[in-house]
Amino acid sequence: MSAATESVIRVRGLVNQFGNDRIHDQLDLDLERGEILGIVGGSGTGKSVLMRSILGLMQPTAGRIELFGHEMSDVEDMRAFMAQHAGVLFQDGALFSSLTVLENLELPLKSHRPELSVQLRRDLARSKIQLAGLSDSACAKMPSELSGGMRKRVALARALALEPELLFLDEPTAGLDPIGAAEFDRLLRTLQQALGLSVFLITHDLDTLYAICDRIAVLADRKVIATAPIAEIEQLDHAWIREYFHGPRARAARGEE
Amino acid sequence: MAAQRRVSGKLARMVNRHHSQPEMRDSDARPEHSPFLTISGESARLAGEWTLAHAGALERRIAAAGELQALDASGITRLDASGALLLERLLSKQHIAVADSGLAHEWQKLYETVQRSCDESPAPEPFCPPAWERMFERIGRSVMEVADATRELLSFLGLTLHRLGRTIRHPKRLRLTATVHHMEQTGLDAAPLLVLLASLVGAVMAFLGATILSDFGAELFVVDLVAFAFVREFGVLLTAILLAGRTASAFCAQIGMMKSREEIDAIRTLGLDEIELLVLPRLIALIITLPLLTFIATLAGLLGGLVVAKMSLDVPFSMFVERVQQTLTLQHYLVGMIKAPIFAVVIALIGCLEGLRVSGTAQSVGEHTTIAVVRSLTMVIVLDAFAAVYFMEIGW
């Protein structure tokens, strides 16, 4: 790996507008190789819209998005590129409810790597499920039979099925109990380090921010107002940041009284 | 097309360039398509990209490898979790420790993570009985399901009647807005299609009758045929069949989605009653609209017959009406109309009941919608057949 920081995602001058409602205005963002970038911001600041623009799920009004140093000209291009290089964990897992856990993982392998033998495909899918910290007995279950935490783990395993270098997570710990959330954080960190992933992580969970994020990007006033390690972000003088990082919940997350 | 090809070409280049980045450092030492596993005697050399992209080729090489004494993995330029799994498989088959393989330091951590996760022995495959046994099992299950469904429908009918009785005693509890809304959706919106279908069926029937009856010189009896058929059977049957397809499915999907999003549970915890809130408005709406639609369908069928009689048989308009007046009595009309509210109850109840039986997933909504349509169609036709025999026996 080159020591110099290299942007995996580079967003410049992104504008997103719905009707008269401008969500992003000249937004810039960089995700560097091998880091976990936490995206925070109040409700309605367009965190999910930002993720959808980068994934090519929607056409931004204006702006430039570069992935791995290549400028993406249109949405189709981007989606095809992202399918090869990025895994996504949607908020509620978005597992295919008509397929078993194992089939959920086999589906992307089947369509992108048709040359693999059935046995190998099954073994690869199974190993991802185990990597995500689930026991083998989960393979035959239907998504509706899983608990919230297990569903997130299966969704993470599916996101990793095609060996992406980039991982997008939309509130991975939302809806988990604190112990489950902490375990999930640890799992994420382990996998990120082992697989060398670059992670785009949307979260509201202060514990997650403190525990695993290398840098934080704060979305407010239609832009990214700051991108820095959490210790620096805390010191910034901005109303929302003060409220967010110095409220009672933040103090608890830092372990202060 | 050309543009598309250009785009995909560009993409492929981008993908290739990206993938080959880590390899560039070694590219002068090794040819582009390095062999993944070279065996010389009892030692092997691993090289190249051990990634998902090459997993198929890697697996074949590993399967072909015989007994090995030594193994050198230092040539691996790229490893991902899939490659690590295959490497783990090779090493454990050959009983070689990863420390002795010379795997580059930067991949050690990944390898260990994957190896740790593979420790568990695979869960046993679920036992699968032979095909004939499964066939009997399925037949048995289906029979039990039909029995269960009938029982469930009857108990649901009882429950709904109880709530209906309560609503009649306290008319303020009826949700009037919802009822009118459903009347519009199931009645008014269905009327144009129903008129089209019924008039076409009426026309077809008149043509059929004309072909056969003209051999006997009894063309005028075409009027009797169309009038009897539509007033007694086809008016109500066509309406019920259309609504079984259109409305039973809509009721089931609406309530099913609410069920899967826990809205039904929310209704219950708020101290409300889902039968009263969701089922009664739909039931009452259908009981009102189905007879009205039946009337419209009957008229449309007669109209279709009338047009054909006029155009191809030269039966004048006035004679058609006169003939209808002579042959039809109130009894015939009632035989058709009495069935309409009964079919309405069957369709509404089956649609709502299947909606309430939905469990969680999107697939379940689809399954139950299908069941709702099939079951209400079946019930409508079976009941109609019974009714036909009954009215014949009592001489109506």
pLDDT digits 0-9 by tens, B368-382: 999 999 999 999 999
pLDDT at B303 over 90: yes
Reported as type and span, the H/E element at residue A54 is: helix A47-55
With an 8 Å Cβ cutoff, is B92 touching chain A? no
Token readout for B130 is 């032979």
Which of B7, B53, B118 is opposite residue A127, by nearest beta carbon? B118
- What is the pLDDT, as a whole number, of residue B35? 67
With an 8 Å Cβ cutoff, is B122 touching chain A? yes
Kindly list the residues from chain B whose CB atom is less than 8 angstroms away from the CB atom of residue A140. Answer: 123, 126
pLDDT at B8 over 50: no
Q: Is B146 exposed, middle or buried (0-12, 13-18, 19+ CB in 10 A)?
A: exposed
pTM for this entry: 0.64
Token readout for B241 is 């069949």
How close A156 comes to chain B (CA, Å)?
A: 14
| pLDDT band with cut points at 50, 70 and 90 for residue A256 | low
Of chain B, the percentage scoring pLDDT greater than 70 comes to 89
- What is the pLDDT, as a whole number, of residue B109? 81
**B92-125 confidence digits (pLDDT tens):** 888 888 777 778 888 888 888 888 777 666 666 7
Average pLDDT over residues B320-349: 92
| pLDDT band with cut points at 50, 70 and 90 for residue A123 | confident
Average pLDDT over residues B39-65: 81
Q: What number is the ipTM of this complex? A: 0.74
- What is the pLDDT, as a whole number, of residue B5? 45
**Overall size of chain B counted in residues:** 396
Q: Is A19 exposed, middle or buried (0-12, 13-18, 19+ CB in 10 A)?
A: exposed
At residue A205's C-alpha, the angle toward residues A203 and A211, to 5°, is 100
Asked if residue A218 lies in contact with residue A187, where contact means CB atoms within 8 angstroms, the answer is no
Token readout for A95 is 């597992």
Measured between alpha carbons, how far is residue B55 from residues A219, A242, B104, B143 in Å?
Answer: 41, 50, 19, 48
pLDDT at A5 over 70: no
Of A218-222, B12-16, B151-155, the least confident: B12-16
How close B327 comes to chain A (CA, Å)?
A: 57
Contact A80 B123 (CB under 8 A): no
pLDDT at B297 over 50: yes
**B119-147 confidence digits (pLDDT tens):** 666 666 777 888 899 999 999 999 999 89
With an 8 Å Cβ cutoff, is B120 touching chain A? yes
Specify which of A37-46, B214-223, B320-329 reaches the highest per-range mean pLDDT: B320-329
How close B218 comes to chain A (CA, Å)?
A: 59
Specify which of A31-45, B52-66, B132-146 reaches the highest per-range mean pLDDT: B132-146
* Mean pLDDT score across all residues of chain B: 85
| pLDDT band with cut points at 50, 70 and 90 for residue A147 | confident
Reported as type and span, the H/E element at residue A51 is: helix A47-55
Of chain B, the percentage scoring pLDDT greater than 90 comes to 48
| pLDDT band with cut points at 50, 70 and 90 for residue B184 | very high
Unique residue bearing structure tokens 């046994």: B133
Measured between alpha carbons, how far is residue A107 from residues A112, A155, B37 in Å?
Answer: 9, 13, 29
With an 8 Å Cβ cutoff, is A163 touching chain B? yes
